[in-house]
Amino acid sequence: MSEPIQADPDFRGFFRTQLDLERGYEILGDLRPTLWSFSDSYVDLIRSGFEQIMADENFGPAEYERLTDIEFPDRETLHTYLQDMYDYLFGDAPEQPMPPGWSEFPDPLPLTSNFHDGPAGRRPHQRLVRAQVRGRLCHYSPANAVKP
């Protein structure tokens, strides 16, 4: 018997870098073009991997959480999300789906300026991303993570 697709390092890597807790709630519209910028063989691996996990009776919320750190309340919600994501990445769905839990946030993902003096007098700003991590609301900045 062959190993499950989630054991493949490239497949795991896609989920860990593109659909994890940090990026999974960041719906910017760039995931599909990002995926399709890779080689055809990589895109085929991700497509067949999605098809395998959606058909796998043993792939459920616990397995998805191990890949992404995002919790799903039940198998049905997970499989609906996976199908919607598949339709976005490989079909003609217009928008990337949002994982569950977004309604738990009281306000939309804020884009705030965090100005500081940067190199050569430039004043870059950082995006603060809210993510629920194991029941705590944390603020994430690419430069550092700050807990409220």
Looking up tokens 């807790």, which residue turns up?
Answer: 21
Average pLDDT over residues 131-148: 39
**Rounded CA gap, 108 and 63, in Å?**
28
Is 148's pLDDT higher than 60? no
- When mean pLDDT is compared across 1-5, 44-48, 95-99, 106-110, the lowest value belongs to 106-110
Question: 87 or 124: which carries more pLDDT confidence?
Answer: 87
Instruction: Map out the domains of the chain as residue ranges.
Output: 5-90, 105-146
Range of weakest confidence among 58-67, 85-94, 96-105: 96-105
For residue range 32-56, what is the model confidence (pLDDT) as tens digits?
999 999 999 999 999 999 999 999 9
Residues across the chain = 148
**Average pLDDT of the chain, as a whole number:** 74
User: Largest Cα–Cα distance in the chain?
Assistant: 59
